[in-house]
Amino acid sequence: MKQTPNWMTVLLGVAFMLQAQAGTLATVNGKAITDEDLQALVANLPQYQKDLAIKDANTRKQLIQDLVDQELLVQDAAVKKIDSTKEFKDAFNAMRKQALVNGLVQRQLAPKVTNDAVKAYFSKFKTRYSTDEVHAQHILLATDKEAESVLAEVKKAGSDFQKVAESRSKDPSAKNTRGDVGFFSRTMFDQAFTDAAFSANVGDIVGPVKTAFGFHVIKVVDRKVGKMPEFAEVEQRVRADYQRELLKNYVSDLRKKAKVKE
């Protein structure tokens, strides 16, 4: 008895076949380059390139070609067993760690970076974003104890700050600059250094100030008054600073809970 074709089954089969073909943009030695691969690539592009990828056929074609080239290189690397080398494993492990950190930041901290929170941060630290400049001299020491000793020395009547900087500072450039760093804005140096310098008056000697480089004794020589920007002018910078502050506090809390030996 002759069977009648199940047209529903046939139509579904054709639909799935067309869907599979539509999702495959190219193949490289049998490996499919899919629309999902293209979308992942486009997601990491700057906005103007994303727009082009959507609207411009030539841009889309070039991106697919880039994915093909990448797959060719990946396959060649696999043949040459690049993934078994120590260099690859070290690099892969480093990228994995960074991806984990990025994922943690995205989940735990990113939701806290709201417009209201960023504006509140700007209001609290508004002076950090002024265009004021300070002219300062500094002496860099290895320990807090050394810095305290030098601070007492340069505060004595008749003491020559720059002469002491020339002879005592651990800054490699001190022999030539005698500790003078010239005028600088709030964004040029370590936050602790600039906060101390900008909080002092002309003629003040302050310290010790701890930074990643060591302990500083700072003398403020002069100031230039700038302007206070509107929030919109520095919004991206404020947002980045707030994110760094959140991360710093998050790490600080983790340190308190962990057993760290250095």
Say which CATH number the domain at 61 has: 1.10.8
Q: Considering the domain boundaries, does residue 234 fall inside one?
A: yes
Q: Considering the domain boundaries, does residue 95 fall inside one?
A: no
Specify whether 159 is located in the same domain as 236: no
Specify whether 145 is located in the same domain as 210: yes
State the total domains in the chain: 3
Write out the residue range of the structural domain in which residue 249 sits.
113-122+229-257
The beta-carbon contacts of 228-234 under 8 Å, at least 24 apart in sequence, are 228/126, 228/127, 228/129, 228/130, 229/129, 229/130, 229/131, 231/119, 231/122, 234/122, 234/129
- Between CA 246 and CA 124 the distance in angstroms is 15
- Between CA 157 and CA 203 the distance in angstroms is 13
Residues 6+ apart with CB under 8 A from 115: none
Model confidence pLDDT, tens digit, residues 69-124: 999 999 999 999 999 999 999 999 999 999 999 999 999 999 999 999 999 999 99
Q: Considering the domain boundaries, does residue 151 fall inside one?
A: yes
Q: Considering the domain boundaries, does residue 93 fall inside one?
A: no
Specify whether 117 is located in the same domain as 73: no
- Between CA 51 and CA 197 the distance in angstroms is 46
Q: Considering the domain boundaries, does residue 1 fall inside one?
A: no
Contact 206, 225 (CB under 8 A): no
Model confidence pLDDT, tens digit, residues 1-55: 445 455 454 444 444 444 444 588 899 999 999 988 988 888 888 777 777 777 7
Q: Considering the domain boundaries, does residue 107 fall inside one?
A: no
Radius of gyration from C-alpha coordinates of the chain: 30
Q: Considering the domain boundaries, does residue 108 fall inside one?
A: no
Specify whether 233 is located in the same domain as 118: yes
Model confidence pLDDT, tens digit, residues 112-136: 999 999 999 999 998 888 888 999 9
What is the DSSP pairing of strand 133-141 with strand 180-184? antiparallel
